[in-house]
Chain A
Amino acid sequence: MKQQKLMEKLSLWQLAVLLFTFEIGSVAVVGVGNDLRQDAWIAVAISTLLGAGIVSFYIMLLKRAPGKNLFELMTISFGKWLGKGIGLLYVFYFFYIAERVLRDFCELITTVIFENTPIEIISITMMGVIAYMIYLGLEVFGRTGEIFIPYVFTFTILIGFATFFSGEMDFKNLLPVMAEGSGPIIQHIFPRLLTFPFGELITFMVIIPYVTQFNKAGKVSVITVLVSGMIIIYGTVIEIVTLGTEQLERTVFPLLSAARYISLLEFIERVDLVVVFIVMFGIITKVSVFFFAGLKGLEHITNISYRYMVLPMATIISYGTILISDNFAEHIEEGIRFIPHYMHVPFQFILPALFAPLLFWRTKKQKRGSDTNGSK
């Protein structure tokens, strides 16, 4: 066995692709801001801008020590033991969210397509694919994204046009705008919309250091977040105008329900599987990113190459996916009540905000000591 640490590289385009699919993945399954009814898109628009801010904050942290990922940054700022301890918390967090994301997808599949298939089979097969991809490395992951992105992107755009030309859209559903004032929107943005899907980009603090042109990564990430935000707005508007606000509140998988309305020329019908395709790829990306981030954390803590841990951890995740909640209502309620407040906010904002000053202080000292890093 080769024990050397492979240096894997991701191109800027691959980074953009992964970011994009990561953002739209879960959103395509469960939708965002459904409680806000016709104002959901406004909330998404605002949180996209804030999301871009969050990403530039993460990038700023990464720029203090180029080539170091989230876990290494924490060791730098908190010292060896505390850094690794907090790193372990992050590992748990990442794996848990990976399980949740996978569960979203499994619920979709078992509800809509494979009604009789045990949910375990779906989680195991999905995790098998993901584990294989991650085992082959980040480059393979990036290239997979490159292959699928044209389809995902065109299908997403086409769904909107197809529902429009099916005559199922009623733009009156967008009215009245901000009827209840801005209060509910702000409440919804913080913490729910800000953390999901934008704050979750903290996982990319593990991936961005491996990008070849690191100095451009920041710009690319911010632009990608804005673009994906626009796609999310697009999807949300499709959902609102097709389903109407009443139905939107009741539906479990909004984009899928919207796509079921498509009926063109009495020939293109029942294309909801296209949504499943988009969702599937989005989920694969999302779970992979969380999975990879968690594995990298383990690698940093144990000093063993993450490839040895792919299979055992994949097993745990595919099992945990089933274990985390007994039923769908519990799963969703956890996602709304518990996760944003007690998991997303601390891990996405509080901890980074805590170690940021430390990081600045440590790297400042380091930079003064050895000027080899060359601050640009």
Chain B
Amino acid sequence: MKKRIFILICISSFLLTGCWDSTELNDVSIVTGIAIDPGKEKRYRLTVGYVNASILSPQIPFEGAPVSVMTLEGNSLPEISARMNIGVSRKLVFSHTRALYINEEVAKNDGVGSFLDSLERNPQFRNDFNILITKGDSAEKFPTINDPVERVPSLKVQKQIKSILKNWGGDPRVRLTDFIDAIVSQGRSPIASSVTIEGNPEKGKNVESNMETKAPARILLAGIAVFEKDKLAGYLSLEDTRNYLWTQKLESTMVTIPCGKHGEELKEKLYFDLAIMNNKSTIKTFYKGDQPHLKVDIYSEARLTSMQCNEDLSKKETYLDLEQKSSKYVKDMIVATIKKVQDEFGLDIFGFGEALHRQNYQKAKEVEEKWDEEFARADVDVNVHVAIRRSGIRNKSFLSEVPANKED
């Protein structure tokens, strides 16, 4: 019996090793950032930034670069990344990629479709990295910009995006699959986030830039990049990005609203601030006769965070008044953004077409082919209700208590 068990263990030790797919941690390098530029001789120029793991260890403070970068040209991403080892010692592992920087030249001329397929197909890639279109500088510089806090550049970018999404909303929250779904979908045009470098990227490359309190180079978010199918069509500003997000799913944001009635010029420029917390938005698309209508209903809860106006916040009427003002203001903002997208691009980035597809399938089938034109000529109707709930730990502003020094 014992002999038999022994033999069994011996046999199974051969069967259960799984040696084909074993990789030691010492043999891999973890890639955090990928940058794609147009190639000079070949189609693409790929830059990968992989982590120098030992520098991140808290025990051994080791001087050196937190990431290392390698650039290579080739015609497809899998081919280039497999060939990376002509200059990189370890096998590159892509499952922890945090940022994909795409040069706007590539996005504009070549389209992004052809390499997004290889990313979606590969089970190594997760759906949690950010697609970033680089404005200005070439994409290969982005994985090299050092940051003293996060150390790994691409991790910094990802965290930055996460934070701004939570606090203000300057990133369209688009992941790989969302992007691809939007390319395929006839009722939505794809968008991605865009980034720029502020400062001197040559200096930012140097690890010693981490010694400076004011970083010589910094990666900034720069709003939405709008795509037509898989080709870049243009950009929207950060404000518009926030407004776009407001129609979709906004976590929280901050708006500054002028005190005076809308359009009315005040002598002094006075504002009050609202921190918007809970948002609910519904998108409806319908036809009145032959005219398409786009309708967005927005309900937001807000907290007042600053008050330069001379109004008494202990009264209910003031709240109602401010609510009206801010609803109007936000509404105009969002309408302006939608109109701008209609006029400048004529591309439905908001997903109104998808809404029509859900709400009136027959009609959607009819207009599917020419939806973007339909979107461009549609009437826009935005309903905003901002409910101001509370105003911090003060009611009246001390500004209203200040002895009248002007013509009050």
Contact = CB atoms under 8 A, between A and B. Distances in A.
Interface string B109-128: 00000000000100100111
Contacts of B184: 246
Contacts, number: 41
A260 B177 CA distance: 12
A176 B357 contact: yes
Most interface-central of B123, B181, B184 (chain A CB within 10 A): B123
A354 interface: no
A116 B20 contact: yes
Given A176-B357, A244-B181, A246-B185, A113 B128 contact: no
Given A176-B361, A179-B361, A247-B181, A114 B128 contact: no
Contacts of B181: 244, 246-247
Contact of A115 (B21, B177, B185, B359): B21
Interface string A218-238: 000000000000000000000
Interface in A284-333: none
Nearest to B128: A263
B209 to A, nearest CB: 29
Contact of B20 (A117, A172, A247): A117
B196 to A, nearest CB: 28
A221 B184 CA distance: 43
A112 interface: yes
Interface string A166-196: 0000001001100100000000000000000
A260 B126 contact: yes
B20 A260 contact: no
A111 interface: yes
Nearest to B19: A117
The listed residue with most A CB atoms (<10 A of its CB), out of B20, B177, B357, is B177
A125 interface: yes
A115 to B, nearest CB: 6
A95 interface: no
B358 A175 contact: yes
A261 B21 contact: no
B61 interface: no
Contact of B123 (A111, A118, A121, A179): A111
B126 A118 contact: no
Contacts of B177: 243-244, 247
Contacts of B357: 176
Contacts of A172: 358
Nearest to A111: B123
A261 B20 contact: no
B15 interface: yes
B18 interface: yes
Contacts of B358: 172, 175-176
B127 A114 contact: no
A177 to B, nearest CB: 9
Given A114-B20, A176-B358, A246-B181, A125 B128 contact: no
Interface in B351-384: 357-359, 361
Contacts of A121: 20
Nearest to A172: B358
A115 B357 CA distance: 39
Contacts of A117: 18, 20-21
A108 to B, nearest CB: 10
A116 B19 CA distance: 9
B21 A114 contact: yes
Interface residues of B, number: 18
Interface in B273-294: none
A114 B361 contact: no
A91 B184 CA distance: 45
A260 B127 contact: yes
A263 B184 CA distance: 26
Contacts of B361: 176, 179
A118 B185 contact: no
Contact of A261 (B123, B127, B185): B127
Nearest to B185: A246
B15 A125 contact: yes
Contact of A114 (B15, B18, B180, B359): B18
A143 to B, nearest CB: 21
A118 B20 contact: yes
Contacts of A247: 177, 180-181
Contacts of B15: 125, 128
Contacts of A128: 15
B279 to A, nearest CB: 14
A121 to B, nearest CB: 8
Nearest to B95: A270
B251 to A, nearest CB: 11
Contacts of B180: 246-247
Interface string A115-152: 11110010001001000000000000000000000000
Interface string B168-189: 0000000001001100110000
A113 B21 contact: yes
B358 to A, nearest CB: 4
A270 to B, nearest CB: 8
B123 A112 contact: yes
A261 B178 CA distance: 12
Nearest to A114: B21
A160 B20 CA distance: 33
Interface string B123-159: 1001110000000000000000000000000000000
A227 B23 CA distance: 42
Contacts of B120: 250
A144 B361 CA distance: 48
A167 B184 CA distance: 23
Nearest to B283: A172
A246 B182 CA distance: 9
Contacts of A114: 18, 20-21
A271 B136 CA distance: 39
Contacts of B20: 114, 116-118, 121
A247 B177 CA distance: 8
B128 A116 contact: no
Given A115-B21, A117-B18, A117-B20, 14 more contacts: A113-B21, A116-B20, A116-B21, A117-B21, A118-B20, A121-B20, A128-B15, A172-B358, A175-B358, A175-B359, A176-B358, A244-B177, A261-B127, A270-B126
Interface of B: 15, 18, 20-21, 120, 123, 126-128, 177, 180-181, 184-185, 357-359, 361
Interface of A: 111-118, 121, 125, 128, 172, 175-176, 179, 243-244, 246-247, 250, 260-261, 263, 270
16 contacts: A111-B123, A115-B21, A121-B20, A128-B15, A172-B358, A176-B359, A243-B177, A244-B177, A246-B181, A246-B185, A247-B177, A247-B180, A247-B181, A250-B120, A263-B128, A270-B126
10 residue pairs, one from A and one from B, having the closest CB atoms: A179-B361, A175-B358, A117-B20, A116-B20, A176-B361, A246-B181, A114-B21, A246-B184, A112-B123, A116-B21
